[in-house]
Amino acid sequence: MMNTAEFIDCLENIGIRKFAGVPCSFLTHLINEALNRKIYEPFVNEGDAVAYAAGACLAGEKVAVIMQNSGLTNALSPLTSLNELFGLHVLLIIGNRGKDDEPQHKIMAEAVKPFLDTLGIPYFCAEEEGAIEKAKECLKSHCAALLVNTKDTFSPVLLQENDKNKELGKPARCDILSAVADCVGREVIVTTTGFTSREMFCIKDRPQNFYMVGSMGCLSSLAAGIAEGMPGNRVIAVDGDSACLMRLGALYTLTEKQPDNLCYIVLDNEANESTGGQVNSLGESRLFDVMSSMYPTKEVCSAEEMAKAIRIFQKEGKYTQLYVRTRKGTMKNLPRPDKALLYGQAKRFCKE
Ligand SMILES: Cc1ncc(C[n+]2csc(CCOP(=O)(O)OP(=O)(O)O)c2C)c(N)n1
């Protein structure tokens, strides 16, 4: 285990004064330390963080980019056609989830190194002796990456300031999910990456559920594809705020389509809770206003209100957009969906 504060000090010694990125649970303590030092810029998509770091480079500053290996796919466009192309070399710190981890990490875990090799980006294990110095040398000619291969790489750092009062009176994610599960008959339920899928699996697993455990940000498009392909059935999609923000453009497309048989719900806890509760913006959430600017959105404040809103959707058969401010926290002893079930879930769904 490395001392997190010392690691950031070492990066500061090579001129890195700021971090930008999207979290990974392997990097929680690193992000906490950077947040506590007020040198972390939250982004909603890894590609945006990489482009921001390129801009900082143009301005003569050095920003390191933090991401999960899954986020490398989001970052490929700016990495290849901006940073590498124009010599705007940035340090990437990548949470390298392994192939024996959850199913959503299987393919990317094996693809990270070949991807980086193809791009000509050298990489080092963050814990390797002299990794930061070696990366510094490489940054002269390319971007460089430090791979963080375990969740215990960094020593624990608690996040300062946590305004618990903000949470008072808000429903828990699981209360809302239970209300949704209780209202459905034949409806399809699709749920987003992280705790939302894990909790829905635990509350009520059924063949008509699809747990979108990876591809963060893609839920609204996945749901639109199902809804348009199954006009005879209704679809309820439950997304998270960070996931919705990651591909906000998809919501723009969805609100043009407005499938009659789709109800799109965002649970906003103002955090990437599934990876450790890191913020996704620097201020109060503006997501309700943003969603409402695209399509009339109803704010729901309790499980009872959610049940009522779902019944209206079922009766009216009209595209429905719901927004809930939820408190942080998960169900106790939350299990992960069985791996075999996840691998087989598309087949199970299609049989229905
Ligand atoms: C492209 C990509 N980047 C990062 C991650 C890591 N990740 C998994 S869940 C999650 C947070 C999701 O936050 P939100 O949608 O707000 O839901 P919450 O966890 O708060 O319930 C992150 C960052 C990922 N899976 N994919």
| Predicted confidence (pLDDT) per residue in 62-76, tens digit | 999 999 999 999 999
Whether residues 243 and 325 fall in one domain: yes
Q: 352 pLDDT exceeds 80?
A: no
Query: Distance (Å, rounded) from C-alpha 106 to C-alpha 8?
Result: 29
Q: What is the best residue among 267, 274, 287 to mutate for testing ligand 1's pocket, by most ligand atoms within 8 Å of CB?
A: 274
What is the distance in A from the centroid of ligand 1 to the CA of 274? 6
**Atom 26, ligand 1: which residue's CA is nearest?**
216
How many angstroms separate the Cα of 250 from the Cα of each of 81, 181, 222, 326? 23, 25, 10, 22
What is the distance in A from the centroid of ligand 1 to the CA of 102? 14
Note the helical H segments in 14-125.
Answer: 28-36, 46-58, 71-78, 106-119
Task: Provide the β-strand partners of residue 263.
Answer: 236, 320
**Atom 18, ligand 1: which residue's CA is nearest?**
273
Whether residues 144 and 199 fall in one domain: no
Q: What is the best residue among 68, 102, 191, 241 to mutate for testing ligand 1's pocket, by most ligand atoms within 8 Å of CB?
A: 68
Element (H, E) at 239: strand 235-240
What is the distance in A from the centroid of ligand 1 to the CA of 133? 31
Q: What is the DSSP letter of 172?
A: B
What is the distance in A from the centroid of ligand 1 to the CA of 290? 20
What is the distance in A from the centroid of ligand 1 to the CA of 70? 10
Whether residues 171 and 143 fall in one domain: no
Predicted pLDDT of residue 163 = 67
Predicted pLDDT of residue 165 = 73
Q: 9 pLDDT exceeds 90?
A: yes
Q: 135 pLDDT exceeds 70?
A: yes
Q: 161 pLDDT exceeds 80?
A: no
In a domain, residue 328? The reply is yes
| Predicted confidence (pLDDT) per residue in 95-105, tens digit | 999 888 889 99
Q: 287 pLDDT exceeds 90?
A: yes
What is the distance in A from the centroid of ligand 1 to the CA of 216? 6
In a domain, residue 236? The reply is yes
Predicted pLDDT of residue 162 = 64
Whether residues 128 and 179 fall in one domain: no
Whether residues 144 and 169 fall in one domain: no
Taken in order 78, 82, 87, 90, the sign of the CA dihedral is negative
In a domain, residue 283? The reply is yes
| Predicted confidence (pLDDT) per residue in 79-98, tens digit | 999 999 999 999 999 999 98
Mean pLDDT (whole number) for 104-132 = 95
Query: Distance (Å, rounded) from C-alpha 270 to C-alpha 277?
Result: 9
Whether residues 121 and 194 fall in one domain: no
Whether residues 207 and 266 fall in one domain: yes
Q: Which of 110, 107, 116 is nearest to 84 (CA)?
A: 116
Predicted pLDDT of residue 282 = 86
Whether residues 326 and 193 fall in one domain: yes
**Atom 8, ligand 1: which residue's CA is nearest?**
194
Whether residues 131 and 200 fall in one domain: no
Q: Indicate left, alpha or beta for 123 from its phi (over 0: left) and psi (-120 to 50: alpha).
A: beta
Predicted pLDDT of residue 160 = 83
- Residue 168 confidence class, pLDDT cut points 50, 70, 90: confident
Its pTM surpasses 0.95: yes
Q: Are 270 and 241 in contact (CB under 8 A)?
A: yes
Query: Distance (Å, rounded) from C-alpha 321 to C-alpha 184?
Result: 17
| Predicted confidence (pLDDT) per residue in 180-233, tens digit | 999 999 999 999 999 999 999 999 999 999 999 999 999 999 999 999 999 999
Q: 321 pLDDT exceeds 70?
A: yes
Q: 49 pLDDT exceeds 70?
A: yes
Give me the CATH number covering residue 315. Answer: 3.40.50.970
Closest ligand 1 atom to residue 196 Cα is 21
Whether residues 85 and 194 fall in one domain: no
Mean pLDDT (whole number) for 252-258 = 98
Measuring from each residue's beta carbon to the nearest atom of ligand 1, which residues come in under 6 Å?
A: 22-24, 68, 70-71, 74, 192-196, 214, 216, 240-243, 269, 271-275
- Residue 262 confidence class, pLDDT cut points 50, 70, 90: very high
List all residues 6 or more positions away from 137 whose beta carbon is below 8 Å from its beta carbon. Answer: none
Predicted pLDDT of residue 98 = 87
Whether residues 101 and 199 fall in one domain: no
Q: Which domain holds residue 191?
A: 164-351
| Predicted confidence (pLDDT) per residue in 234-249, tens digit | 999 999 999 999 999 9
Number of domains, the chain? 2
- Residue 164 confidence class, pLDDT cut points 50, 70, 90: low
In a domain, residue 269? The reply is yes
Pairing label, strands 40-42, 320-325? unpaired
What is the distance in A from the centroid of ligand 1 to the CA of 315? 33
Sheet strands side by side (includes 40-42): 40-42, 16-21, 62-68, 91-95, 144-148, 123-125
Query: Distance (Å, rounded) from C-alpha 335 to C-alpha 342?
Result: 13
In a domain, residue 154? The reply is no
